[in-house]
Structure 1
Amino acid sequence: MNEQDIARGMQALALLDPDIKRAAAQLGPPPVRHRPKGFETFLSAIVSQQISTKAAQAILERVTALMPEVTASELLNIDDQALRDAGLSWRKIEYAKGLADAVNTGHFDIEGLDLLDDKAAIAAITSLRGFGRWSAEIYLMFSLKRPDIFPADDLAIQVALGRLKRLPDKPTPKQARDIVEHWAPWRSVGSLFLWHYYHGPPI
């Protein structure tokens, strides 16, 4: 999603939800965020699990330095101990090799995700070990630029939505999805705004 997409989405959301209109008037639109498509982004998602962004970046750089090009075939050629020495846990090595094997054998077609609807694409990604619904939804939002994704399992989104709606506590994922159902077909922009709101909510 580019700036124009976000502007259109925010305009539509302001008409659909007075709380969005109120907050956006004080905070402004969220910034553009995107990630490239492809194998390296999926590998990065595995590396990044449960560690800081800075640590993940350092490990990813060491892992990718082991390959002449970052592909599934090249990753499968790397010895597990070399990946461990680069900073990956044994569990993440298992996930990374599983991802690479699925790509290499054709069981997981990254390019083919473009041709699937949201539900089917999420199902394809979550069929991989190490990838839950949140990871799949993030890929659809930032790499495939799907306009109507709402990663309700994200803690920051839950907290921000609770604040935006003046709830006594953050909603559960199911409650959050119900609350923003009327944001369709702009729930990706709504999600971006909630992250934006989380980091700088109006007083």
Structure 2
Amino acid sequence: MKEAVTFLVEKEEKFKHIVEQFGQPVFVTRPSGFETLCLLILEQQVSIDSAKATFLKIKDVIPDFSPETIVGFSDENFRACGVSRQKTSYLKALSQAILDKQLDVESLAFKDAQTVREELIKIKGIGHWTIDVYLMFCLQSPDIIPLGDIAVVNTIKELFDIHDKESMADYAEKWKPYRSGATFFLWHYYLRKRGRKNPY
């Protein structure tokens, strides 16, 4: 990501200021696969720490964490682990799609970002935010801007005084082909300005 940092700092004055003020952003990676997709589903609209705690509770009860065991885990057991009825249905939908061979998670690593998006969006409960984060963290896709992420949207509003997503997407064109790197700059600024550590 060294190339991305050099490119973005030259292209965007505000990114240069972020580095001067807070240092370089951390480019986060996560392992690809079924478990991370499940964790991302749990992270939707809640804090990452809270989702991680719930995920670990499930793994304590189901050490053999797999599509088979998730499908067989009762809704009551999920509820006891702190998982909502809606997210339970999402975890089971993902698991069933894998068991039915509608989705091959391992093969996603060898496909382009658009193909990955087209395959994952078919799964109930997996929307563009989940796909964007999976592409960035797990598949290291270099050119993703997740405009479904509140921190990204709020930081663009604050730094660039742009207030609608279409205009944000247009402005982000200048960060190509490193929009993922730009996203890490935005997250870095958002967290450090608020005195928070990177939760990823």
The answer, yes or no, to whether TM exceeds 0.5 is yes
Greater Cα shift, 99-108 or 19-28 = 19-28
Q: 1:178 aligns with which of 167, 170, 175?
A: 170
Q: CA deviation at 1:156?
A: 1.1
Q: Deviations over 1:109-135 (max 9, x none)?
A: 111112221112112111111111011
Match of 2:78 among 57, 78, 83: 83
Measure the CA separation in 2 of the matches of 1:33 and 1:116.
20
Match for residue 28 of structure 2 among 30, 33, 36: 33
Partner of 1:103: 98
Which of 117, 125, 129 pairs up with 1:130? Answer: 125
SS in 2 for 1:62: helix
TM-score of the pair, normalised by structure 2:
0.89
The letter of the residue matching 2:34 is: F
SS in 2 for 1:29: coil
Q: 117, 134, 140: which one pairs with 2:135?
A: 140
Matched letter for residue 180 of structure 2: S
Shift of 1:155: 1.5
8 Å contact kept, 2:27–2:181: no
Q: May I ask how many residue pairs the two structures share in their alignment? A: 194
Q: Secondary structure at the match of 2:40?
A: helix
Deviates more, 1:105-114 or 1:138-147: 105-114
Distance 1:61 1:125 in 2: 24
Q: 8 Å contact 1:38–1:110 — kept in the other structure?
A: yes
Deviation at residue 79 of structure 1 after TM alignment: 2.1
Which residue, out of 148, 151, 170, partners 2:146? 151
| CA displacement at 1:139 relative to structure 2 | 0.4
Tell whether the 8 Å contact from 2:67 to 2:96 is kept in structure 1 after alignment: yes
How far apart, in 2, do the equivalents of 1:200 and 1:46 lie? 26
| Residue identity matched to 2:178 | W
SS in 2 for 1:97: helix
Q: Give the drift of 1:19.
A: 2.7
Is the counterpart of residue 48 in structure 1 residue 43 in structure 2?
Answer: yes
Structure 1: runs of 5 or more not aligned: none
Q: Could you say if the C-alpha distance between residues 26 and 85 of structure 1 is closer, same or farther in structure 2, counting changes exceeding 3 Å?
A: closer
Between the aligned partners of 1:116 and 1:123, the Cα distance in structure 2 is: 11
Once residues 31 and 117 of structure 1 are traced to their aligned partners in structure 2, the CA distance between those partners, rounded to angstroms, is: 24
Q: Which amino acid aligns with 1:133?
A: H
User: Contact conserved, 1:152 with 1:174, CA < 8 A, in 2?
Assistant: no
Change (3 A) 1:87 1:29: same
Gaps of 5+ in 2: 194-200
TM-score (norm 1): 0.88
Equivalent residues of 1:9, 1:186 under 8 A apart: yes
Q: Does 1:193 align with 2:188?
A: no
State the alpha-carbon separation in 2 of the partners of residues 186 and 82 from structure 1: 42
Q: Among the aligned pairs, what percent are the same residue?
A: 30
Please give the alpha-carbon distance, in whole angstroms, between the structure 2 residues aligned to 1:24 and 1:54: 26
RMSD: 1.8
